[in-house]
């Protein structure tokens, strides 16, 4: 290399893998025990570096609370975990699948990662029930049709094969009707669990913030996710509604759900989290158990932050 100038690194070429141009860091093997693994995660908006070189692993059953000053990159980090935001560089693995690999079907991976937003984001054009059943029904029907299509070709090929060489058909367990009624029953069960079964047929605009957020949570649960990502789930709520939402999240935690929660509710983080990450300036500046973080903070940044919020 001349004069020490860094040579322009070429995007890597590996069979079965394809990345966006800016992703130049070599992929390292991921930890098979980690549910989510983040490698060298970097995110820039133009010249603004929001996340710089974050490495982290999240294991099954963990309840991770992310705290930190506003603008520190908490939301961006969370949104990179299910690649709602494309990382500029670095990789996110979910159950061993590299979500940044463009050859990986991101829609299939996201089914198992629930996400809850600060602004609820219930679908305004659909009733509460339809909000919950939309994804299970659509995805169920897509899978059904895909299986039927494949079976059609298998049958066609089997016409030309001798009896003992015929290929087996893919199993098609449910009819379209069953998929729909099952999704509906499941949604009603979930609504009963949060005491809102009577709101089945109303539109989201008629509900309170607390009701909307609880419905947003069960909407994510309807896909049977392995992990739930919460981005400040109570920040847009009136104070009297914060409790009902936190209570539901706590129930999920007690049921063993793996979760990552960005929150400003320090009491909640202390109570529910198994690990707390303190994010500032695009980095995980400090992390540890709730006791360590809240009772024995090490860095000045964290001490300063805690003195302001506690």
Partner 1 sequence: MSSFEIFWERFSTPGTLKSVLTGLQNTAAIAVFGLILGFLIGCIIATVKIIPSQNIFVTILKRLADAYIAVFRGTPMMVQLLLLHFAVFIGVNIPPVAEVSLIFGLNSGAYMAEIMRSGINSVDKGQMEAARSLGLSYFTAMIRVVLPQAVKNAVPTIGNEFISLLKETSIVSVIGLADITRAFKAIADSTFEYFIPYIALALIYFVLVMIISLIIKLIERRLKKSEKR
Q: In the complex, which residues of this chain contact Mg ion (CB under 5 A)?
A: 75
Find out whether 69 and 280 touch, Cβ atoms under 8 Å.
yes
Question: Cβ of residue 246: shortest distance to Mg ion, in angstroms?
Answer: 18
In whole angstroms, how close is the CB of 286 to partner 1 at the nearest point? Answer: 28
Q: Hunting for tokens 């897509």 — which residue is that? A: 142
**Residue 276: closest CA among 118, 64, 50, 48:** 64
Site string for ligand ADP, 236-265 (x = CB under 6 A): ------------------------------
CA distances from 228 to 7, 63, 252, 263, 284 (A): 41, 9, 9, 14, 20
Please choose, from the candidates 205, 214, 18, the residue with its C-alpha nearest in 3D space to the C-alpha of residue 101. 18
Residue 124 binds partner 1, judged by CB under 8 A: yes
70 binds ligand ADP (CB under 6 A): yes
CB of 131 to partner 1, least distance (A): 9
Q: Does 233 bind ligand ADP (CB under 6 A)?
A: no
How many CA atoms lie less than 13 Å away from 56 in the CB half-sphere? Answer: 27
131 class by beta-carbon count within 10 Å (0-12 exposed, 13-18 middle, 19+ buried):
buried
**Choice between 111 and 283, CB closer to partner 1:** 111
- In the complex with partner 1, the residue whose CB is nearer, 206 or 291, is 206
Only segment of 65-73, 171-179, 181-189, 199-207 that touches ligand ADP (CB under 6 A): 65-73
Is residue 309 at the binding interface for ligand ADP, with CB under 6 A as the rule? no
Kindly state whether residue 108 participates in binding partner 1, applying the rule CB under 8 A: yes
> For residues 292 and 189, what is the distance between their CA atoms, to the nearest angstrom?
39
Site for partner 1 in 2-31 (CB under 8 A): 20
Residue closest to 38 by CA, chosen among 78, 81, 97, 71: 81
Pairing of strands 89-94, 34-45: antiparallel
33, 60, 119, 247: which one binds partner 1 (CB under 8 A):
119
Report the distance separating Cα 130 and Cα 184, nearest Å. Answer: 8
Q: Which helix (H) or strand (E) holds 144?
A: helix 128-158
Q: Is the CB of 73 or the CB of 136 nearer to ligand ADP?
A: 73
Does residue number 90 form part of the binding site for partner 1 (CB under 8 A)?
Answer: no
Contact residues toward partner 1 (CB under 8 A) are 20, 82, 84, 107-115, 117, 119, 121-126, 134-135, 138-139, 142, 201-203, 205-206, 216, 219-220, 223
Contact residues toward ligand ADP (CB under 6 A) are 45, 48, 50, 68, 70-76
């Amino acid at each position: 290399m001349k004069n020490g100038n860094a040579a322009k690194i070429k995007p890597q070429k590996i069979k079965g893998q394809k990345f966006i141009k800016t992703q130049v860091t070599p992929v390292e093997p991921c930890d098979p025990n980690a549910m989510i693994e983040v490698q060298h995660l970097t995110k820039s908006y133009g010249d603004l570096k929001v996340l710089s070189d974050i490495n982290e692993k999240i294991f099954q059953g963990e309840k991770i609370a992310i705290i930190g000053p506003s603008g520190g990159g908490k939301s961006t980090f969370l949104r990179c975990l299910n690649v709602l935001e494309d990382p500029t560089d670095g990789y996110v693995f979910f159950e061993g699948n590299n979500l940044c690999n463009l050859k990986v079907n991101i829609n299939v991976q996201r089914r198992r990662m629930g996400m809850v937003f600060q602004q609820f984001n219930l679908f305004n054009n659909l009733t509460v029930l339809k909000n919950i059943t939309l994804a299970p029904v659509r995805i169920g029907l897509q899978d059904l049709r895909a299986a039927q299509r494949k079976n059609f070709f298998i049958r066609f090929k089997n016409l030309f094969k001798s009896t003992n060489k015929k290929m087996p058909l893919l199993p098609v367990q449910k009819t379209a009707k069953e998929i729909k009624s099952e999704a509906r029953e499941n949604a009603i069960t979930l609504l009963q669990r949060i005491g809102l079964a009577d709101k089945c047929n109303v539109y989201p605009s008629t509900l309170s913030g607390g009701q909307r957020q609880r419905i947003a949570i069960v909407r994510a649960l309807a896909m049977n996710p392995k992990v739930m990502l919460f981005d400040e789930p109570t920040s847009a709520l009136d104070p009297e509604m914060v409790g009902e939402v936190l209570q539901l999240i706590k129930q999920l935690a007690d049921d063993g759900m793996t979760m990552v929660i960005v929150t400003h509710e320090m009491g909640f983080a202390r109570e529910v989290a198994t690990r707390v990450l303190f994010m500032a300036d695009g980095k995980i500046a400090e992390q540890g158990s709730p006791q360590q973080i809240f009772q024995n903070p090490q860095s000045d940044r964290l001490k300063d932050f805690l003195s302001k919020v506690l």
